[in-house]
Structure 1
Amino acid sequence: MTQDLIQRHPRLEALFDAYSERFGKEQTPYRNHIYRVINLVAIQKALSEEELEKVAIAGFFHDAGIWLAGTFDYLEPSARLAAHYLEEQGLEAWGPEIGAMIQNHHKVTRFSADRQSLAEMFRRADWIDVSLGLLRFGLPAARIRRIRATFPNAGFHTLLLKLSGQQLLSQPWKPLPMLRR
């Protein structure tokens, strides 16, 4: 486990530059969430450069359908956006792994018996962040606190509550469409 936090990632920053207008004032909360998730994956396993690239791409797109497709039922749209981006970049071979990270990051149960698969580590990282560190999956609380201090919430969880409330009012039969068993 590396002691240094990943504070900037060129591909992630380029993606935010390309879509900055679409995120508006919610860019900082989402960016910080992604950096928290990336770092939570990185403390589970020392990532190769390629794995870090994959996690950064999955990180950017995992919830992006909220803003880029205008829906709270965002897993499929987010995965499609990522697949399109990978095709544009000539990285189609990464599609299945990045798609698995995006499609399964809200899975309540384990995605894979392989605890070191990127999709499983990404799933745990997102749950750690969304739960504000209440779920830790064995990761040290001090490391989680350091990540959260470096990348403040900036209203991300308030945004999630607002979006959840809007979804509940508009489709009470489908209050959290992104959750998977």
Structure 2
Amino acid sequence: MSDIIIQQNRTRIDELLAPYAAQIGGDLPGYRNHVYRAVTYAMHFLGNSPEHEQLVETAFVYHDIALWTNHALAYLEPSEAVALADNAKYGWGLNPEALQGAIHWHHKITAYRGPHEAVIEACRKADWIDANKGMVRKGMSRANIKAVEAAFPNLGFHDALIRLAKDNGGSTVGGLIKVVRGIIKW
């Protein structure tokens, strides 16, 4: 696999995150970098095709957003709802089925097969890479992961996920169980 292209500035991501900055609060720098890492991986899997960029960036901005907007541990469907509502409200013209699918299936354990397969599967693999800090690479080289992580440091993102599971689930273990039951797809 070729070297990865790292874009340090993705204006759309920052513009889409801005209205949610107060809700995300101190977790914003870590979440932003998670979004940047995941978008970078997904776009690499898609050959950096411009036709997918707007959808991928939007899907990743919204993919976990309900952790903060809804304080939901089963956050996929609420995150989808926020993304679809904003897509309609602001007239972005993104395919609602593809946008919803990229969010809905990003924690699927097995490969996604179905409509919009290329973009949904790229998003799924990208999030898995970042969620486990590159331990499962989904075909991505270690060198590419290292370069992306250096460009967009973690900034406490994974720690924030553990804290949110505890805060919204009553305990760390109980919250993590609720998260897994609410978001893992087969």
Corresponding residue for 1:179? Answer: 184
| Aligned length, in residue pairs | 181
Matched AA of 1:72: L
User: Are residues 76 and 44 of structure 1, via their aligned partners in 2, closer, same or farther at CA, if it must alter by over 3 Å?
Assistant: same
Corresponding residue for 1:89? Answer: 90
Partner SS for 1:174: helix
Once the 2 structures are TM-superposed, how far is the Cα of residue 5 of structure 1 from its aligned partner?
Answer: 0.6
Whole-Å separation in 2 of the counterparts to 1:145 and 1:48: 22
Corresponding residue for 1:128? Answer: 129
Q: CA RMSD in A?
A: 2.2
- Could you list the per-position Cα deviations for residues 72-92 of structure 1 after superposition, in whole angstroms to 9, with x for gaps in the alignment? 111000000000111023245
Corresponding residue for 2:19? Answer: 18
Gap runs ≥5 in structure 1:
none
Whole-Å separation in 2 of the counterparts to 1:172 and 1:135: 20
Once the 2 structures are TM-superposed, how far is the Cα of residue 165 of structure 1 from its aligned partner?
Answer: 3.7
Are 1:6 and 2:7 matched, yes or no? yes
Contact 1:2 1:42 in 2 (8 A): no
Matched AA of 1:178: I
Partner SS for 2:153: coil
Please identify which structure carries the higher helix content: 2
Q: TM-score w.r.t. structure 1 length?
A: 0.90
- Could you list the per-position Cα deviations for residues 45-100 of structure 1 after superposition, in whole angstroms to 9, with x for gaps in the alignment? 22333311000000100000111122111100000000011102324551100100
Gap runs ≥5 in structure 2:
none
Aligned pairs for 1:56-75 within 5 A? 56-75=57-76
Whole-Å separation in 2 of the counterparts to 1:20 and 1:164: 20
Corresponding residue for 2:142? Answer: 141
Matched AA of 2:185: R
Once the 2 structures are TM-superposed, how far is the Cα of residue 19 of structure 1 from its aligned partner?
Answer: 1.7
- Could you list the per-position Cα deviations for residues 118-168 of structure 1 after superposition, in whole angstroms to 9, with x for gaps in the alignment? 101100000000111011111111001100111000001111222334437
Whole-Å separation in 1 of the counterparts to 2:24 and 2:84: 20
Q: TM-score w.r.t. structure 2 length?
A: 0.88
